[in-house]
Amino acid sequence: MLSAALAAPIDVLVLEFNIDNASNIDLLDVRLMKGTETMAEGTDYSVVLLSASDEVLHTTYFDVVLTAYGDNYPFLPGQEDVGVEVGLNETRVIVRVPYNSSAAKFEIREGTTVLLQQDINLCDGDGVCEPASGENYLSCLADCPSGSDDDYCDEVFDDKCDPDCGEQGRADKDTDCTCGNGVCDPREDSITCPDDCGQAVNELTTMIYGAIAGIIVIPVVIVVIVIVLRRRKKKK
């Protein structure tokens, strides 16, 4: 669990779907994002990535929880709320699968039974960025260059503020969005944003020059004092 929590984000294919108590799948969304793989143990359900020649590239297991705890309502005076297990007709599942550029399709399986198979086609290359079809900076660079309004904050420093970073409350991830606000933000420096960070650099430069001056001047002063004292001694 610790290694999963510390894992660095990778490109993951994110599948979002509803599954009912007869294992029918209603696929809602497929997109490529940064994230970490879904972890589950002791479950029959999996997403399998396949190449065009049906070679299995990766299997990620996921849980399906079709129960919930309700309240034993109405309570009688002095009665505890112990909770009652309630069966659900369907539940929402989000699975993150490490992406492999050789993947041509995915299957959602229960044991060896294929519940759903679909081609992975996240980029039509028509020059129009269509996030509703799964196109974004990661999945379809040709149609969605950096700075595109594609539901993905691309964090690229290129003079284009990605509107998604601001919409997701992550404006600080794209320096292009924060440079010019008068504050030297964490990702900015004198090179990426001299307008906001130039003053800080000047202060630093002043400190460095001060230190260098101190290093040179102090020994000279000491030498002069020593010479003066020796001359006074000689005169005596």
Interface pick for Ca ion out of 16, 26, 119, 126 (rule CB under 5 A): 126
Q: Tell me the C-alpha distance between 120 and 74, whole Å.
A: 49
Vertex 189: Cα angle to 184 and 192 (nearest 5): 110
Q: Of the two residues 68 and 183, which places its CB atom closer to Ca ion in the complex?
A: 183
Q: Of the two residues 67 and 168, which places its CB atom closer to Ca ion in the complex?
A: 168
Question: Which residues in 176-195 contact Ca ion (CB under 5 A)?
Answer: 176, 178, 181, 183, 185
Q: Tell me the C-alpha distance between 146 and 136, whole Å.
A: 9
Contact (Cβ atoms closer than 8 angstroms) between residue 115 and residue 106:
no
- The number of beta carbons lying within 10 Å of the beta carbon of residue 101 is 6
Q: Of the two residues 160 and 170, which places its CB atom closer to Ca ion in the complex?
A: 160
Residues 2-41: x where in contact with Ca ion by CB under 5 A, - otherwise, as a string? ----------------------------------------
Q: Of the two residues 198 and 219, which places its CB atom closer to Ca ion in the complex?
A: 198
For residue 200, state whether it binds Ca ion (rule: CB under 5 A).
no
- 78 phi-psi bin (left φ>0, alpha ψ -120 to 50, beta other): left
Tokens representing 5 are 């929590």
Q: Which stretch binds Ca ion (CB under 5 A): 25-33, 54-62, 104-112, 158-166?
A: 158-166
* Nearest approach, Cβ of residue 196 and Ca ion (Å): 4
Q: Of the two residues 95 and 193, which places its CB atom closer to Ca ion in the complex?
A: 193
* Nearest approach, Cβ of residue 193 and Ca ion (Å): 6
Residues that bind Ca ion (CB under 5 A): 124, 126, 128, 130, 143, 148, 150, 152, 156, 158, 160, 162, 164, 174, 176, 178, 181, 183, 185, 196
